[in-house]
Amino acid sequence: MINFFICLIISVFTSYGMAIILVEKGKDYPIRKPKLILKRFIHQHISRKMSKVLDCTTCSSFWITGFIDCILCVFMFLIFGQFYFFWPFSGFITCGITWFIIEFLNSLDKEQNINIFIDKEDLK
Protein backbone atom coordinates (compact mmCIF):
# COMPACT_ATOMS: atom_id res chain seq x y z
CA MET A 1 0.00 0.00 0.00
CA ILE A 2 2.89 2.35 0.71
CA ASN A 3 4.29 1.67 -2.78
CA PHE A 4 0.95 2.75 -4.23
CA PHE A 5 1.06 6.17 -2.54
CA ILE A 6 4.71 6.62 -3.41
CA CYS A 7 3.96 5.85 -7.07
CA LEU A 8 1.01 8.23 -7.01
CA ILE A 9 3.15 11.05 -5.59
CA ILE A 10 5.94 10.34 -8.09
CA SER A 11 3.43 10.29 -10.94
CA VAL A 12 1.74 13.55 -9.93
CA PHE A 13 4.92 15.56 -9.33
CA THR A 14 6.73 14.22 -12.39
CA SER A 15 3.76 14.93 -14.63
CA TYR A 16 3.33 18.44 -13.25
CA GLY A 17 7.02 19.18 -13.82
CA MET A 18 7.00 17.80 -17.33
CA ALA A 19 3.85 19.77 -18.21
CA ILE A 20 5.41 23.01 -16.97
CA ILE A 21 8.60 22.30 -18.92
CA LEU A 22 6.82 21.38 -22.16
CA VAL A 23 4.21 24.14 -22.17
CA GLU A 24 5.62 27.08 -20.27
CA LYS A 25 9.25 26.67 -21.36
CA GLY A 26 8.49 25.06 -24.73
CA LYS A 27 9.86 27.95 -26.77
CA ASP A 28 13.23 28.01 -25.01
CA TYR A 29 16.36 26.39 -26.43
CA PRO A 30 16.71 22.84 -25.15
CA ILE A 31 12.97 22.09 -25.13
CA ARG A 32 11.88 23.63 -28.44
CA LYS A 33 13.13 20.97 -30.85
CA PRO A 34 11.89 17.89 -28.90
CA LYS A 35 8.52 19.60 -28.41
CA LEU A 36 8.20 20.24 -32.15
CA ILE A 37 9.15 16.62 -32.91
CA LEU A 38 6.57 15.38 -30.37
CA LYS A 39 3.87 17.69 -31.76
CA ARG A 40 4.62 16.56 -35.30
CA PHE A 41 4.48 12.88 -34.26
CA ILE A 42 1.17 13.34 -32.44
CA HIS A 43 -0.24 15.36 -35.35
CA GLN A 44 0.70 12.75 -37.97
CA HIS A 45 0.13 9.47 -36.12
CA ILE A 46 -2.52 10.06 -33.44
CA SER A 47 -4.76 13.03 -34.19
CA ARG A 48 -4.53 16.54 -35.56
CA LYS A 49 -6.38 18.05 -32.62
CA MET A 50 -4.43 16.04 -30.04
CA SER A 51 -1.25 17.96 -30.93
CA LYS A 52 -2.91 21.10 -29.51
CA VAL A 53 -2.74 19.48 -26.05
CA LEU A 54 0.88 20.57 -25.75
CA ASP A 55 -0.26 24.20 -25.75
CA CYS A 56 -2.28 23.82 -22.53
CA THR A 57 -0.53 23.11 -19.23
CA THR A 58 -3.56 21.57 -17.56
CA CYS A 59 -4.40 19.33 -20.53
CA SER A 60 -0.86 18.15 -21.03
CA SER A 61 -0.48 17.33 -17.33
CA PHE A 62 -3.42 14.91 -17.65
CA TRP A 63 -1.98 13.07 -20.64
CA ILE A 64 1.60 13.09 -19.36
CA THR A 65 0.32 11.41 -16.20
CA GLY A 66 -0.95 8.53 -18.35
CA PHE A 67 2.49 8.17 -19.92
CA ILE A 68 4.27 8.29 -16.54
CA ASP A 69 1.81 5.78 -15.05
CA CYS A 70 2.56 3.35 -17.89
CA ILE A 71 6.28 3.63 -17.18
CA LEU A 72 5.72 3.19 -13.43
CA CYS A 73 3.44 0.22 -14.06
CA VAL A 74 6.12 -1.61 -16.02
CA PHE A 75 8.82 -0.63 -13.52
CA MET A 76 6.80 -1.72 -10.48
CA PHE A 77 5.80 -5.02 -12.08
CA LEU A 78 9.33 -5.91 -13.18
CA ILE A 79 11.10 -4.89 -9.98
CA PHE A 80 8.58 -5.50 -7.18
CA GLY A 81 6.02 -7.78 -8.82
CA GLN A 82 3.20 -5.36 -7.96
CA PHE A 83 0.77 -3.83 -10.39
CA TYR A 84 0.22 -0.05 -10.37
CA PHE A 85 -1.98 1.72 -12.88
CA PHE A 86 -4.18 4.46 -11.50
CA TRP A 87 -4.15 6.69 -14.56
CA PRO A 88 -7.51 8.27 -15.02
CA PHE A 89 -7.70 9.20 -11.36
CA SER A 90 -4.06 10.24 -11.03
CA GLY A 91 -4.52 12.26 -14.22
CA PHE A 92 -7.48 14.10 -12.70
CA ILE A 93 -5.50 14.70 -9.50
CA THR A 94 -2.58 16.14 -11.49
CA CYS A 95 -4.93 18.19 -13.65
CA GLY A 96 -6.58 19.67 -10.56
CA ILE A 97 -3.28 20.44 -8.85
CA THR A 98 -1.93 22.06 -12.01
CA TRP A 99 -5.06 24.18 -12.44
CA PHE A 100 -5.00 25.23 -8.78
CA ILE A 101 -1.34 26.27 -8.89
CA ILE A 102 -1.78 28.22 -12.12
CA GLU A 103 -4.87 30.03 -10.80
CA PHE A 104 -3.14 30.75 -7.49
CA LEU A 105 -0.12 32.26 -9.24
CA ASN A 106 -2.36 34.29 -11.55
CA SER A 107 -4.25 35.68 -8.56
CA LEU A 108 -0.96 36.69 -6.94
CA ASP A 109 0.06 38.45 -10.15
CA LYS A 110 -3.28 40.29 -10.36
CA GLU A 111 -3.07 41.34 -6.72
CA GLN A 112 0.47 42.58 -7.21
CA ASN A 113 -0.51 44.54 -10.34
CA ILE A 114 -3.42 46.15 -8.49
CA ASN A 115 -1.18 47.18 -5.61
CA ILE A 116 1.29 48.81 -8.00
CA PHE A 117 -1.32 51.30 -9.23
CA ILE A 118 -2.64 52.26 -5.80
CA ASP A 119 -1.03 55.43 -4.54
CA LYS A 120 0.31 55.13 -1.00
CA GLU A 121 -0.95 58.60 -0.05
CA ASP A 122 -4.53 57.66 -0.92
CA LEU A 123 -4.46 54.93 1.73
CA LYS A 124 -3.73 57.41 4.57
Does 88 fall in a domain? yes
Residue 28, pLDDT score: 77
Enclosing domain of residue 99: 2-116
Positive or negative, the Cα torsion across 49, 22, 11, 73? positive
Smallest CA-to-CA distance from 6 within 75, 54, 62, 60 is with 75
Count how many Cα atoms sit within 13 Å of the Cα of residue 14 in the half-sphere of its side chain: 17
The number of distinct structural domains making up the chain is 1
Does 122 fall in a domain? no
Does 124 fall in a domain? no
Cβ neighbours around 119 below 10 Å, total: 7
Share of the chain above pLDDT 90, in %: 0
Give the model confidence (pLDDT) of 69-97 as tens digits: 888 888 888 887 777 777 888 888 888 98
The C-alpha atoms of residue 71 and residue 76 are separated, in whole angstroms, by 9
Indicate whether 111 pLDDT > 80: no
Does 121 fall in a domain? no
Residue 121, pLDDT score: 58
Supply the pTM of this predicted model.
Answer: 0.74
